[in-house]
Amino acid sequence: MQTDRPSLEDGFHAVPIHSDSEHNIHSNSDHQRELILQNSQRSPCCNRDLRNQPQSNAVGAAALIFVTGGIHIAWSIGFDSLFAELEVTNHVRICWFIAAILGALFGGFFSRRFPYKVLMEFCSLLTLTGGIIMAVNRMDLDALLAGRYLNGLANGLAIAPTLAMAGELSVFYKRGTITSATEQWATTIGIFVQIVSSTSWDVQSDFTEEQFTGVISGVLGAIALILAFLLSIESPVDLLEQGNEQGAIEALSRLQRPRAVTAETHDQVRDHRTYLAHHSSISWQKAIPAVIRLSVLRAMYAVSFSMMVTYTISWTSAAVYGDSSGPFVLFGFLRLMGTFSTAFALDSLGRKIPLLLGLVIAGGLSVGLASRFAGSQLLAFSDYRMALWLLLIYQLFAGIAFAPSSAFLSEAFPRKFKRQCIAIAYILEMIVQLTICQEQFYNDSSIVAIYFFALGGLLLAGFLFSVWYMPETKDTTLLQAQFKFQEFVIPPA
């Protein structure tokens, strides 16, 4: 292992190391963080990204698992090419959410007993196995059910450990991008893939769209297994907690390129040591404000992209463009672009600006869409067309609004309860999806109006709630971010 510093050509400037005798979080730590941030901002963007690439690679296996999860979420809420020969029961549709809930319970409350690398290898095997079962069985309801259960279990099991680990593995000035790209962007890629394949699939083909889903899941599961084996790195915070400081320094050196022990490495060790010391005696009460905030946010995320939304895009698209798949592809693409653009701007714009912008515009568009369906059972062509375009634009801003949620989940909770709290928020999200999937929808404009009026009200209320109660955590250490979440009212800066 190298022990020299990266060269100036790599964009690195030496940061002086101060004595560890002083543990004042708001003095030495802030000063060091400012120096590191200034160094990172002086570096060319490409050099900075390359230097921190191993941090993204360490959670790359989970990102591929979440891509397959997005495919199954989109299938569950109605983006499927159902074959007439096989009756798909409601159980098949909701089974992925049930499995994800079970997986999240285990991942949130018991995953600390296993190394992260082992967990990711197991989740990758589940994803690979589920994909193979779906790919080799045509028109088999039991195989479809088994494959979806395995994939849901893998995704639920991976979510809490991955977001907890991503926050601890990444440097503070890249944490937002790494966490959001790992979960939100990956999931949205899967959703987009499923939307495109389901709307363009030839239902007369001998190779079904569900088999194609199995092939994609199997391939991504196999790649994830390789990445988990080769690139997964244990949390330096866990290693410090176990008393293995040399192991923590080694892990931190592997999380940067070129691999070296630098002044920044020692600053990170000190920050992690302070982080552990602060959380040694913290109670559940400190986690409750963040749990409430982020459970509400993830519940709104589920409502914003549900079976009712799929039903509405299908109804309005058929009324305006007939059998064309163009609106569906644009629908998925705009959601993907909203998530993508925000995920890679969270460490420059911050978390709060995209959240507020997305919530207020998506809420207004939702209310406008609902007004087109209100008061009349017989809609004019112009109403359908306007409702369709409002729904398409709404997807762009919904993607912007909820991309920061992954970053918030990774940094909001006390370390002792972080995985449990992430699991609670994720389980609530799955319960909301499962509940909406239980409903039966018909061509009733009043149901659409009620749903989108309610959704618009929730999003606008979420905007006001976020103005006062969601803190900005850009360029903060994990400990500083948690201080901001430990009270219901945001303290003055």
Quote the CA–CA distance of 153 and 430 in Å, as a whole number: 12
Phi, psi at 358, each rounded to 5°:
-65, -45
Phi, psi at 121, each rounded to 5°:
-65, -40
DSSP 388-407: HHHHHHHHHHHHHHHTTHHH
User: What is the torsional sign of CA 182, 233, 176, 491?
Assistant: positive
Which residue reads 């798909």 in tokens? 88
- Give the pLDDT confidence score for residue 281 in this predicted structure: 73
Range of the domain at 81: 54-233+281-485
Quote the CA–CA distance of 109 and 120 in Å, as a whole number: 16
Residue type (1 letter), 249: I
In a domain, 29, yes or no: no
In a domain, 250, yes or no: no
Residue type (1 letter), 247: G
DSSP 28-69: IIHHHHHHHHHHHHHS-HHHHHHHTHHHHHHTHHHHHHHHHH
The domain spanning residue 195 has which CATH number?
A: 1.20.1250.20
Query: Which residues in the chain show pLDDT less than 70?
Result: 1-48, 82-88, 442, 488-493
**pTM of this structure:** 0.88
Q: What share of the chain is helix, strand, coil (3-state, %, to 5)?
A: 75, 0, 25
| 228 and 117 Cβ atoms separated by less than 8 Å | yes
Quote the CA–CA distance of 52 and 166 in Å, as a whole number: 12
| Total number of domains in the chain | 1
Quote the CA–CA distance of 209 and 215 in Å, as a whole number: 10
- Give the pLDDT confidence score for residue 53 in this predicted structure: 87
- Give the pLDDT confidence score for residue 257 in this predicted structure: 80
Quote the CA–CA distance of 424 and 290 in Å, as a whole number: 11
In a domain, 399, yes or no: yes
- Give the pLDDT confidence score for residue 47 in this predicted structure: 65
Quote the CA–CA distance of 156 and 151 in Å, as a whole number: 9
| 383 and 243 Cβ atoms separated by less than 8 Å | no
- Give the pLDDT confidence score for residue 34 in this predicted structure: 54
Quote the CA–CA distance of 299 and 301 in Å, as a whole number: 5
Per-residue pLDDT reduced to its tens digit, 266-283: 888 888 888 888 877 777
In a domain, 22, yes or no: no
Quote the CA–CA distance of 85 and 69 in Å, as a whole number: 26
In a domain, 415, yes or no: yes
Quote the CA–CA distance of 449 and 408 in Å, as a whole number: 31
In a domain, 98, yes or no: yes
In a domain, 276, yes or no: no
In a domain, 247, yes or no: no
And the tokens for 30? 């802030």
| 179 and 406 Cβ atoms separated by less than 8 Å | yes
Which residue reads 């018909």 in tokens? 442
And the tokens for 291? 């749990």
